[in-house]
């Protein structure tokens, strides 16, 4: 494995500085960027160098309440806007994000570390939620029907749920924001968005883009903060808030669900995963390795959908592991802005230490590092792309999210074993199955306890698909036609027999 030296950067320091100078550094409250009420700030770092990229205002609890004041003040008028008007704001936002794709991509690479090519992919994916929900905004169907007794009538309509708190993680700084903001706009909800403190810059630029697209003041408020609970605490206790949509880790999600119970809030929870990647002996191994690379290495493995456990049928395990390790060992690691970089740094030093602790424990338990297995020396938080062979069942690394470029391979004997091992997890988000036998794939999908299953596919996220998990991976769905329903509430109107009067 090579670490690309910083010889000929594709992106000049001047270009980086120019882009960073365009990112708003304040809090967005009622359509205006302003300082924190106590003047507090926090720094955002480049994980490839550890250097400070920007300093943002750090919202206080008072600022959070001011953001909810703004959201609440315009909720009723925003709910009454024509769906077509909301759709057109989203469509303009899609056009603007697409026009500014290079800025968004570079900003994500700078603050999060992913290679530029991947960041461009996230811009396309993230922008698609804006276009998708611009189309969904005008297709929200209610219904009118006669009661079974044949006299009275039933009218069912969907209304915006009300002001929402949206909390996003650091790993997909644009897509996690658009996946929440777009359906909320489509449904007619107002919002307070709290981006992750590690990667808030993209959300800041996105919020400005929504204003540029014509979103009225107060509909979207953004409160980056170094104190997440200082924002969520007062808002979840405030009766004006009607919903929380959270994407992040399972422990934080559980805490927020408990807090949200005080006011019986609608909740959408997109939490952690422990995706199995199952390879049967009748699979096309070339395709399986290609899919494994995509499912493991997207975002350096820092994805809730990342393949976390490779379950391979015994007779093909050695060959699959050999080919997979060869492909992983050939990847080029470096700063995301460098030409040719395929693997960027992990988000911070703690993340890298956690990944290495899991690898070391697996090796101590009997696994073999077929490739990689160690941090990369030098600046930044790089970790070698790693394949671990012969990982014993029950090893810690198979039981928790790795969130790094590490692939543990373990084996199974029969289809029943594969299903049992896959389901032996508290998580149930993404899963992947490789086989040439379509009925087997369907049989596995019927029995596997995961919200999403890829058949011979290593990447399954799509704005048109309902994304989400079961068990400790969460509640609710984002994207698809299900996505807008998370932001509406159902009202039933009972109508007396029109012939009786
Ligand atoms: P995290 O739970 O640490 O943080 C997520 C967000 O919650 C951040 O904005 C953070 O500031 C905020 N937060 C943290 N503690 C909080 C508290 N006590 N009160 C209120 N807010 C709080 O997660 P992360 O490290 O940013 O992201 C990685 C996790 O997110 C992984 O577990 C990953 O699987 C999960 N994730 C899930 C999905 C999905 O769609 N299911 C997508 C991406 C990431």
400 lines ligand 1 (CB under 6 A): no
Closest CA to 127 of 153, 101, 149, 151: 101
Beta bridge partners, 467, equal 478
- Among candidates 125, 254, 136, 227, which has minimal Cα distance to 177? 125
Which residues lie across from 191 on neighbouring strands?
Answer: 164, 220
Query: At 285, is the pLDDT very low, low, confident or very high (cuts 50, 70, 90)?
Result: very high
Atom of ligand 1 nearest to the CA of 478: 40
Whether residue 412 is found in the same domain as residue 348: yes
Distance CA 460, CA 274 (A): 15
The tens digit of pLDDT for each residue in 253-280 reads: 999 999 999 999 999 999 999 999 999 9
Q: In this predicted structure, what is the pLDDT of residue 9? A: 57
Pick from 288, 229, 248: nearest CA to 434: 288
| Residue 86 phi, psi (nearest 5) | -65, -40
Q: What is the mean pLDDT of the chain?
A: 96
In the residue annotation, 338 being an active-site residue is answered as no
How far is Cα 141 from Cα 51, in angstroms, rounded to an integer?
Answer: 50
467 falls within a domain: no
Is 170 close to ligand 1, i.e. is its CB under 6 Å away?
yes
Would you say residue 250 lies in a domain?
yes
Q: Is the CB of 218 under 6 A from ligand 1?
A: no
Could you tell me if 263 and 280 lie in one domain? no
The DSSP 8-state label assigned to residue 337 in this structure reads: T
- H/E stretch holding 375 reads none
pLDDT in tens, 53-96: 999 999 999 999 999 999 999 999 999 999 999 999 999 999 99
Residues 219 and 184 in one domain: yes
3 in any annotated domain: no
Residue nearest atom 42 in ligand 1 by C-alpha distance: 304
How far apart, in Å, are the Cα atoms of 139 and each of 106, 155, 341, 482?
Answer: 35, 17, 42, 12
Q: What share of the chain has pLDDT > 90, as a percent?
A: 96
Report d(CA 419, CA 408) in Å as an integer: 17
Question: Domain check: are 480 and 361 in the same one?
Answer: no
Give the CA distances from residue 63 to residues 31, 205, 242, 247, in Å, rounded to whole numbers and listed in that order. 14, 20, 18, 22
| Number of separate domains in the chain | 2
The answer to whether the CB of 228 is under 6 A from ligand 1 is yes
Q: Is the CB of 302 under 6 A from ligand 1?
A: no
Alpha-carbon gap, residue 180 to 203, rounded angstroms: 12
Distance 50 CA to ligand 1 centre (A): 21
**Active-site residue, selected from the candidate residues 164, 304, 338, 478:** 304
The verdict on 264 and 283 lying in the same domain is: no
* Identified catalytic residue from 136, 270, 401, 478: 270
Ligand 1: centre distance to CA 30 (Å): 26
Q: Is the CB of residue 427 below 6 angstroms from any atom belonging to ligand 1?
A: no
CB distance 113 to 347 below 8 Å: yes
Nearest protein Cα to ligand 1, atom 43: 304
295 shares a domain with 226: no
| Dihedral angle, C-alpha 78, 83, 86, 88, nearest 10 ° | -160
Both 452 and 484 in one domain: the answer is no
Give catalytic status of residue 304 as yes or no: yes
């Amino acid at each position: 494995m090579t670490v690309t030296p910083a010889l000929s950067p594709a992106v000049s320091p001047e270009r980086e500085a120019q882009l960073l100078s365009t990112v708003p550094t304040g809090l967005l409250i009622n359509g205006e960027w302003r300082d924190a009420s106590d003047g507090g700030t926090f720094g955002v770092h480049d994980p490839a160098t550890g250097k400070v990229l920007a300093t943002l205002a750090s919202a206080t609890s008072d600022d959070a309440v001011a953001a909810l004041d703004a959201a609440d003040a315009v909720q009723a008028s925003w709910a009454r806007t024509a769906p077509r008007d909301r759709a057109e704001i989203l469509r303009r936002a899609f056009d603007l994000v697409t026009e500014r794709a290079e800025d968004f991509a570079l900003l994500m690479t700078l603050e999060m570390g992913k290679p530029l090519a991947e960041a461009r992919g996230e811009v396309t994916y993230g922008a698609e939620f804006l276009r998708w929900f611009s189309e969904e905004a005008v297709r929200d169907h209610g219904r009118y029907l006669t009661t079974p007794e044949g006299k009275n009538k039933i009218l069912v309509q969907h209304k915006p749920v009300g002001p929402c708190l949206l909390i996003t993680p650091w790993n997909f700084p644009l897509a996690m924001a658009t996946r929440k903001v777009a359906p909320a706009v489509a449904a007619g909800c107002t919002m307070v968005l709290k981006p992750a403190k590690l990667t808030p810059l993209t959300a800041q630029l996105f919020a400005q883009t929504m204003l540029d697209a014509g979103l009225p003041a107060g509909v979207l408020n953004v409160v980056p903060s170094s104190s997440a609970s200082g924002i969520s605490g007062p808002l979840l206790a405030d009766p004006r808030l009607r919903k929380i949509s959270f994407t992040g880790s399972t422990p934080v999600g559980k805490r927020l669900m408990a807090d949200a119970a005080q006011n019986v809030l609608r909740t959408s929870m997109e939490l952690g995963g422990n995706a199995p990647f199952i390879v049967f002996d009748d699979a096309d191994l070339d395709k399986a390795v290609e899919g494994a690379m995509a499912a493991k290495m997207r975002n350096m493995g820092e994805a809730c959908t990342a393949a976390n456990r490779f379950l391979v049928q015994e007779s093909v395990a050695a060959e699959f592991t050999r080919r997979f390790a060869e492909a992983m060992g050939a990847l080029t690691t470096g700063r995301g802005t460098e030409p040719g970089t395929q693997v960027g740094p992990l988000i911070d030093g703690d993340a890298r230490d956690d990944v290495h602790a899991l690898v070391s424990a697996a090796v101590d338990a009997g696994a073999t590092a077929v490739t990689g297995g160690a941090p990369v020396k030098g600046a930044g938080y790089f970790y070698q792309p790693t394949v671990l062979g012969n990982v014993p069942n029950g090893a810690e690394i198979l039981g928790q999210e790795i969130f790094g470029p590490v692939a543990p391979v373990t084996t199974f004997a029969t289809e029943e074993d594969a299903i049992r091992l896959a389901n032996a997890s508290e998580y149930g988000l993404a899963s992947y199955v490789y086989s040439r036998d379509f009925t087997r794939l369907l049989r596995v999908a019927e029995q596997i306890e995961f919200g999403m299953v890829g058949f011979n596919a290593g990447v399954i996220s799509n704005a048109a698909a309902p994304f989400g998990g079961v068990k400790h991976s969460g509640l609710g769905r984002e994207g698809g036609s299900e996505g807008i329903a998370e932001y509406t509430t159902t009202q039933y109107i009972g109508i007396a027999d029109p012939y009786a009067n």
